[in-house]
Amino acid sequence: MTTELEKALREGEIVKQVLEKGYVELKLSKIGADLIGKKVYFKALIVGENVGKAFENKIAIKCSECGKTLGVIDLLEEKNFQLLYEKLASNKLSSINIKEFAKGECEKSENKKHDPFTELLPEYSDYSIVFVRELPEQIEALTEKEYQSLASKIWRVYYPQIPPNARKVHIKGFVMKNRSTNELEFLAYEIEPIEEEIETIKITREDHELFQKYFADESLFSEIVKNQIAPHIVGRDDEKLSALLLLHSPCQIFDIFNSRLIRGSLRVAWVGDTKTGKSEIGKDLTYQFFKIGEIVFVETSSRAGLIYTIDTDARVIIWGAVVLNDKKFVFLDGVHLLQPEEIAQMREVLEQQRVKVSRSVSGERFARTRIIATLNPRKPMDSYYYKVQALMDTNFFRDPADLTRWDIVLPFCDEDVKAEEIAEARPKERPIPTEIFKKHILWVWSLTPTQIKYSEDAKEKIITFTKNLLSNFHASDYPLIHNGVRDTLTRLSVAFACLHHSVIFSEDGSFQFVEVNTKHVEEAKAFIDKMIKRLNYDSFVARKKEETELSEEEFEVILSELDSVETEILRGLDSGPKSSPQLASILGISERSVKEHYEKLRRFRLIMTSHGFGVALTSKGIKFLKKLDSHQNVKIGQKNAINQLSLAKTSENTSLEGGYCSGSGEVVKSSEVKSGEIGSPHFTTSPLPPHTPLSTEQTKENKHKSVEIGARETETNTNQSTSTEKDELSLYSKIERDIIELIKSSPFGRLMYDFEIEGFLSQRGYNVEDVS
């Protein structure tokens, strides 16, 4: 609360500045009611603008009787700022003092009072409504609540021109009070752009010498990691190093072959228990000390705090922190609290590096932002067997694909730092002076892709390490290591090179480029390896491989353990998950009998069961089925080879009486058809009923086809077969062959329904009235 002394001093300073400069220069967040009607000068961040507006800039005062012009008010003259504000803010001019502006009276009044009136003249000017807030680096706050209040406050500025195309600006104008809302607003007469430091920074030879003194000194590196950021936080060296790397990552870089531009700015996620230092490091980087970038407390912010919102009354997009910090840095504290819609928008931003709005209003902005995001899982970290499971247990990373958009993920666990170390912690001096540290970061942010080069050895190392990571740790179920890991490794290598100030100078001492060498690649690989270890991702992947991979030896073991019902359960699932009643119907057994087989199938990790989807094949189950079909196809091929050898015998059997030749070689009477002789492992209990004898022409045709594809080996001791019996022999050999062909062509050789077989045979021209 402001004391009387502070109030008096403030009033005295205001009066002094008005007398000396004609305006009061101060921070936007310090403007209050005591400045209403006074001219002020401040810096601000433009977060939205409504342009393309116009107004009448002149008002005529006329006699109501004769229409004579008694005076003209120019709204653009600064002395008329009250009228201009009223016109722009409410499109009204109710406060005009006509006598003040009228020059004399009408000559035809003849001592009678003629009332003057006002009329807008058809002379127009552009105007805009600009929405601004305080620059993050100018916010002074002691608490999160105070910071969030100042950072989220948006002010409305009426400007009788078109604003410059800039984010940071100087504004000079008057403080006004909106009569309808009582909100403080501004009428600006000047809005001038402030050049971004990234664009204007000049690095001298002396600067590079200072950079090399602090950043290139290997003996100082460990101290920088421990104490340059949040020195009061102990035992968090990996986490602090990840922040240092992020701050020293250029916006864009070339890949190792200079063939394409890729993202250079890093993204870091910290997941873990509360009160482990995540937020404290973010505060130290932003408003509490370094004032680099911006921090957003997701719990107390709206969507505008992150990406954008739409002011429906003003029909304008208000851009959020991720967009406003394009090419800079933002710290997002508590992203696990984002709503699904906001997570979807964040996903698009991370993927496209831009935000496109196509709603009641449209707009598009870049969002090439360095991001550190913190999140808490649903349970304490020690509740997860593998730390990477904590990521899965958050809404933000529920979709595994989201993980591929982040370069570094580190866990914060209570047990990481011993209680004694925390109790005895004493903050130490930061090894690099603040201004030198911040200037080095700005220099890295200003680097262009052509100013970063890779040594040939570094390129080879990146390729070798990529192969190693993909072969050992690639898991599609939860891809911390994914097919884009080469780019991740490249980004980290570049960040290490910048952090170590690995630069090459020309003969005259001027800067040429940052060189990425093998040392930086090895550091990047070591950091990824440590991340994998700390998240238990190596053990997680090993377990996943155990669950999904299937060796030949294990296949034989499982095959020997499974019975026919269990095999058919697997086949019944090849087209997708099914409920137990569905499986029971397919197999022709009771639901209880089906469920009795689940335990063994789960033990071999071939199926998974859930109240949601029922029963489904696992990756291992799919591989088992494919391998099983492969083995059975080999057996069918071997049997066909045997059948080829029996071709001569089959063609010689021309006197089989009243039957056909079975697969076992015996003669089966048409009225006594044996079951289980079709030759497919899926139809061991399906009998073939007798068929109507075929014509002589059909018999010859089928006999010819049978000779081409082969018949079963047949042995007979009778020579009294009729022509009808020989026709049936040819027919059933062809049906048998075609049914096998159908089953082999179906997905995973699944169990076929009768109607599917009948339809297939009908298309082949068979009479299927008697086929079961």
Q: Contact 615/583 with Cβ under 8 angstroms?
A: yes
- Strand (E) positions, 304-397? 308-311, 316-319, 329-333, 354-358, 362-366, 370-375
Q: Is 180 found in the same domain as 38?
A: yes
Say yes or no: 376 and 416 in one domain: yes
Share of the chain above pLDDT 90, in %: 66
pLDDT value, residue 475:
80
HSE value, Cβ hemisphere, 13 Å, CA-based, for 745: 9
Tens digits of residue pLDDT in 572-582: 999 899 999 99
User: Domain containing 4 — which CATH number?
Assistant: 2.40.50.140
Average pLDDT over residues 452-459: 98
Report whether 293 contacts 331 (CB < 8 A).
yes
Residue 531: the pLDDT is 98
pLDDT of residue 762: 62
The pLDDT value given to residue 110: 61
pLDDT of residue 141: 93
Residue 241, domain member (yes or no): yes
Q: Is the pLDDT of residue 132 over 50?
A: yes
CB atoms within 10 A of CB 669: 14
Q: What is d(CA 207, CA 668) in angstroms, rounded to the nearest whole number?
A: 99
Q: What's the average model confidence in pLDDT over 21-49?
A: 94
Q: How high is the pLDDT of residue 632? A: 76
Q: Is residue 769 in a domain?
A: no
Question: What mean pLDDT is reported for the chain?
Answer: 84
Residue 663: its pLDDT value, please?
A: 39
Looking at 568, 596, 629, which one is the last position of a domain?
629
Lookup: tokens for 764: 């082949």
User: Does one domain contain both 220 and 305?
Assistant: yes
Helix axes 518-534, 537-548, angle to 10 degrees: 70
CA atoms within 13 A on the CB side of 452: 33
**Residue tagged 């408003």 (tokens):** 287
Same domain, 115 and 140: no
Q: What is the CATH number of the domain that holds 578?
A: 1.10.10.10
Average pLDDT value for residue range 223-252: 97
CB atoms within 10 A of CB 330: 25
- Cα 56 to chain centroid, rounded: 48
Q: Looking at this protein, which amino acid is placed at residue 256?
A: I
Q: Does the pLDDT of residue 271 top 80, yes or no?
A: yes
* Same domain as 425, residue 369: yes
For residue 470, is it within any domain?
no
Q: Give pLDDT, residue 332.
A: 97
What average pLDDT score do residues 514-539 get? Answer: 97
Cα–Cα dist 660/317, whole Å: 82
At residue 140, φ and ψ (nearest 5 deg) are -115, 115
Q: What is the per-residue pLDDT for 520? A: 98
Instruction: pLDDT band for 200, please (50, 70, 90 cuts).
Output: very high
- Clarify whether residues 115 and 137 are in a common domain: no
Residues 419 and 352 in one domain: yes
**Domain annotation covers residue 252:** yes
Helix boundaries (H) for 194-320? 197-200, 205-215, 218-227, 237-247, 278-285
Sign of the alpha-carbon torsion through 169, 175, 178, 184: positive
pTM of the predicted structure, to 2 decimals: 0.77
Flag whether pLDDT at 627 surpasses 70. yes
| Residue 458 forms part of a structural domain | no
- Looking at residue 681, what is its pLDDT? 36
pLDDT of residue 705: 41
In this structure, the answer to whether residues 132 and 117 fall within a common structural domain is: no
pLDDT of 357-416, one tens digit each? 998 899 999 999 999 999 999 999 999 999 999 999 999 998 888 999 999 999 999 999
pLDDT digits (tens, 9 = 90+) for 532-583: 999 999 999 998 888 888 889 999 999 999 999 999 999 999 989 999 999 9
pLDDT at residue 284 tops 90: yes
Is the same domain home to 624 and 740?
Answer: no
- Give the sign of the dihedral formed by CA 330, CA 42, CA 183, CA 189: negative
- The domain of 70 spans 58-122
Q: What token pair was written down for 439?
A: 């200037």
- The total domain count for the chain is 5
Contact criterion met (CB below 8 Å) for 728 and 670: yes
Assess if residue 771 is contained within a domain: no
Domain identity same for 354 and 227: yes
Could you identify the residue written with the tokens 């201009």?
84
pLDDT at 633: 73
Residue 672 is encoded by which pair of tokens? 């006594």
Whether 489 is in a domain gets the answer no
Please determine, for residue 478, whether its predicted confidence score (pLDDT) is greater than 90.
Answer: no
pLDDT at 62: 85
- Pair of tokens at residue 690: 């007798």
Residue 403 sits in the same domain as residue 319: yes
In DSSP notation, 454-474 reads E-HHHHHHHHHHHHHHHHHH-
**Average pLDDT of 709-738?**
46
Residues 240 and 389 occupy one common structural domain: yes
Q: What is the mean pLDDT of residues 502-513?
A: 94
367 in a structural domain: yes
Lookup: tokens for 689? 């009923």
